[in-house]
Structure 1
Amino acid sequence: MSTAVQPKQQQLPEVPVTGKRQSPIDIRTENVVNERTKRSVLQDGSKPLYIDYSPLTGVQLTIQNTGHGWQLSIPDEHAKNCEITGGTLGSDHYRLLQIHAHWGRDSNTGSEHTVNGRTYPCELHLVHWNATKYSNPKQAQTQSKDGLAVIGVFVEIGCEQHPIFAIIDSLIPTIPYKGDKKSVQNEHLDLNQLVPDRHSPNYWFYLGSLTTPPYNESVLWHLMKTPIRASEKQIAEFRKLYEKESYSDANHNVKENYRDVQDLHGRPILDID
């Protein structure tokens, strides 16, 4: 079996996209929306974005290899205690659905979003669906413009290991090939460790899309300004995943899985402090 690196454009196949709210984008800080306009856009007055994930203790989680990377799914009965609301979301409650990451061939690239052209080695996405307006995640994704809310977190290289990344890395060997799944009952998982400054979040907000096919334009993006840190070795473990099934004759490691920056098409970017 070949372990050659697959070109990125083949890892993330494009489909015809004609919409004008595609993601990811480059955040140009000199062009973000000013404070006065911000207040007119926020749906719930001055109420800040509220992020609170109840620790998952003894919960059975599922991690899978999607062919694009790893994805950690949260059971809905427990995700009810992991919701975000307020700020640009108004009074709607968005329930945590899954967590995944994007990375590059080395620590010089990897994040999907960029800030003034700067890339980070990795970017986490915490994907939530609008449980107030829609009956299930699929409906929220495919039949709406506000069905999903994603918290994007940049990851920098640090000396110490991140505790959540350590858990993910320990499971990577159990899901080497596309379609592989592993159910694990964790002792204690505090997802709040993935969100910096969650009690007073500073972030950029804009209207966008999924960054993998089918690129539905149903995402309310919240990009945290403050990155978290993980070791270089922890991120390197992600690159050991394969992008095809175990029976494939020619397989390739998922060395990079980020989509290129898309045109902003005049969309406002809100700077929320």
Structure 2
Amino acid sequence: MSAIFKREFGNYFCSFIGYAFLTIFVLVTAIYFSLYNVLSLSPDYHLILSNVVIVLLILVPIITMRLFSEESKQKTDQLLLTAPVKVYEIVLAKFFAASALFAMGLIITLIFPIILSFFGNVPTGQIISAYVGFFFMGMCFIAVGIWVSSLTDNQVVAGIGTFGILFVLFMIEAIGKGVPEGRNYGCGLAILICIIIGLFVYNSVNNIKYSVISGGVFFVIGLIVFFVKPEFYDTFLYNFVMSFAVISKFSKFMLGIFDFTTIVYYITFAAGFIYLTVRSVDKKRWS
């Protein structure tokens, strides 16, 4: 696993990708720093990171699009998959390599709040909290990018696909406001989720019996909830959509609130897409 990590991290600097990411990320942060802190004489550096989020929609696809798609295109993925290493170790190594590059960019930008501290008091707690939240949010974006990269052998498709998903996550609050409310919509979504779970299990184990049982179990649970607390489904569709509000949850960290619940949410979100990536790569291994 460490060998794969070193190779992937080194590859970023054997090409222009690593340098381009760091340059653009630091440059954009510097521009916001100049506008919001230097020219406006504001000590609130932590607010800059909320504006830099939109840049990640472009930069994350760039650093993740080739992680699996390039190897699949060049057929070198088969060499990797036949190596004495588990699939999840391959996925994690690539994920950590991209995350390390992202962390490097964040560390470099720490120079800006340090410079700011020479000219007065800065909200250190809020800045640290914002950086921690920003890092975990970035890891979620990276997990999405790696998953998309594992689905195709075309880097451009992987990049555009990742950008598309991240843009939807960016707009999720606006989408949530347009989601219809009502018990029928909630029940319909619950049934759809049961079907998806059944199909996912079938795709994983290729056994119709386990697929039906899995979907059936969740259907029964949903039925029990309907009879015990039917109002749960009144806002179920809205709550489901807002469960993907990765970016809006970052606002707590900007306020200096180190929310452990949100950290767990980010880790769970990233782990979910890492698992999907493992399933996608593992399927290629036996195809």
Q: Which structure is higher in helix share?
A: 2
What TM-score, normalized to structure 2? Answer: 0.25
Normalised by the length of structure 1, the TM-score is 0.26
User: Does 1 or 2 have the higher relative contact order (CA < 8 Å, sep 6+)?
Assistant: 1
Query: Which one has a bigger Cα radius of gyration?
Result: 2
Point out the structure with the larger strand share: 1
